[in-house]
Structure 1
Amino acid sequence: MDSRRERKKQQTRRLISEAALKLFAEQGYEQTTVAQIAAAADVATKTFFNHFPSKEDVFFTDNIHYGSKIPIEVIATRGPDETIPDLLARAYEAAIGTYLSDGPGLDDPDMVAAYMSLIRSVPALQAKALHKAHEVQREVATALLAAYPDELDPISAAALVGSVAGAAQAASLAALERGEGQEKMWEAMRRAIDIALHGLPKS
């Protein structure tokens, strides 16, 4: 697929995703239909299903890109003397940094707040988020194992990636539950990743 066609595909996916989120925020997730989302995005219902298997999937347009593809690309550039914690820290920092520079919806705080609220309150979205998180962790763990075949086995690779991802997720939720803003949430995630990889700082 040429780059122009791929960009067009990504633009359409983003348009549908943003239209869906607006409708979910305005009238509720359960009350919003795929036909309404397609109409709001000015695409055919068939086009919606060409890009998303279900209504839940519009919430996770970019998660695989930022969650696994970027870390995997970084892991593939492992330096000869780079330690596992240092490489994982670099991989997840790249994912966070890239998302903050060009991630979807960051220029609309109300939409970000609506997204977070829906994820926390809709069981179907929580289940999908958990499923996507497991997919991402498995892919990153596979890449890490390939980078350190003499130091890791499948269990240790999965445990390392799971501990980092779980720490970041728990910290971000804790920050949101405290009513802290997006900046504090990202700070909490970075701190959690550092704790997962290196332990608590010595006092």
Structure 2
Amino acid sequence: MSDDSGRRERKKQATRQALVAAAVRLFTERGYDNTSVTDITDLADVSKRTFFLHFPTKEDVLLADSDARVALAVEAVAGHATPRESLLAAATRMIANTAAGDLPSGLAALRAELVVTTPAVQARVLHAMFQAQVKITAALLAAHPGELDEVTASAMVGALMGAISAATVTSLTRGDSPAITQAAMRRATVVALRCVTRDS
């Protein structure tokens, strides 16, 4: 990567982080419905055009960390002896990533709260989860050709991600610390994999 392209990428990432930080602050202070895209761009000191270059909708600001996490899961699926080991590796990588990065620490908790209270956010998060499941299922089938059919693979991935998501929302909405929330996610992984791989 050249110096110019590296500089552009760092600037792009800094702008993205500024938009997320502004959104988290405003959503927390004013509420999601009372915050507009213009409010976010004013606080971040960027144009609305810049906002939409980074995020298609206001809801997508809350999913700023999801693409990278899904990519890590897809990458982690390959190279394991069994589908269970692949799914365990994917879940482990995603859970570890929740503590990484430079995004605001309140993003996950705010997202969990808004999923419970705001239909537009709930719909967008569910759509993102569906897209993630499709990608991880395809990776699982590619990693274990002939071992799983499409229905079984999608059911295994859906059960795992549903368990992790439900445990995360439960933990965050009761005010658990990040460490306790991660422990809840790991526990959900164990429970889900015990169930979905018993007869596979």
> What's the TM-score, normalizing by structure 2?
0.88
2:118 counterpart of 1:122 = yes
How much has 1:103 moved relative to structure 2?
Answer: 5.5
How much has 1:6 moved relative to structure 2?
Answer: 2.9
Q: Which residue of 2 aligns with 1:29?
A: 32
Task: Provide the rounded CA distance (Å) in 1 between the counterparts of 2:135 and 2:101.
Answer: 23
Q: Structure 1 residues 84 and 112, CA, compared in 2 at 3 Å: closer, same or farther?
A: closer
2:71 counterpart of 1:69 = yes
Q: Which residue of 2 aligns with 1:98?
A: 97
> What's the TM-score, normalizing by structure 1?
0.86
Task: Provide the rounded CA distance (Å) in 2 between the counterparts of 1:196 and 1:19.
Answer: 36
Amino acid at match of 1:94: R
Q: Structure 1 residues 160 and 199, CA, compared in 2 at 3 Å: closer, same or farther?
A: closer
Task: Provide the rounded CA distance (Å) in 1 between the counterparts of 2:118 and 2:35.
Answer: 13
Computed over aligned residues only, the root mean square deviation of the Cα atoms, in angstroms, reads 2.0
Task: Provide the rounded CA distance (Å) in 2 between the counterparts of 1:180 and 1:153.
Answer: 38
Task: Provide the rounded CA distance (Å) in 2 between the counterparts of 1:194 and 1:132.
Answer: 23
Q: Give yes or no for contact 1:19–1:40 (8 Å, CA) kept in 2.
A: yes
Q: Structure 1 stretch 14-23 or stretch 175-184: which is displaced more?
A: 175-184
* Divergent runs of 4+, >6 A: none
Q: Structure 1 residues 126 and 24, CA, compared in 2 at 3 Å: closer, same or farther?
A: same
Q: Structure 1 residues 129 and 46, CA, compared in 2 at 3 Å: closer, same or farther?
A: same
For structure 2, the 5+ residue unaligned runs are none
Within the candidate set 38, 58, 81, 1:55 is matched to: 58
Q: Which residue of 2 aligns with 1:161?
A: 157
Q: Give yes or no for contact 1:85–1:198 (8 Å, CA) kept in 2.
A: no
SS in structure 1 of the partner of residue 125 of structure 2: helix
The number of residue pairs the alignment matches comes to: 193
Within the candidate set 138, 141, 152, 2:137 is matched to: 141
Q: Structure 1 stretch 92-101 or stretch 120-129: which is displaced more?
A: 92-101
Q: Structure 1 residues 104 and 44, CA, compared in 2 at 3 Å: closer, same or farther?
A: same
Task: Provide the rounded CA distance (Å) in 2 between the counterparts of 1:133 and 1:168.
Answer: 11
Task: Provide the rounded CA distance (Å) in 2 between the counterparts of 1:6 and 1:154.
Answer: 37
Q: Structure 1 residues 3 and 141, CA, compared in 2 at 3 Å: closer, same or farther?
A: farther
Q: Which residue of 2 aligns with 1:83?
A: 82
Task: Provide the rounded CA distance (Å) in 2 between the counterparts of 1:170 and 1:115.
Answer: 13
How much has 1:158 moved relative to structure 2?
Answer: 0.6
How much has 1:11 moved relative to structure 2?
Answer: 2.1
Task: Provide the rounded CA distance (Å) in 1 between the counterparts of 2:11 and 2:138.
Answer: 30
How much has 1:129 moved relative to structure 2?
Answer: 0.6
How much has 1:102 moved relative to structure 2?
Answer: 2.5
State, as a whole percentage, how many aligned pairs show the same letter.
39
Amino acid at match of 1:73: E
Q: Structure 1 residues 185 and 148, CA, compared in 2 at 3 Å: closer, same or farther?
A: same
How much has 1:155 moved relative to structure 2?
Answer: 1.0
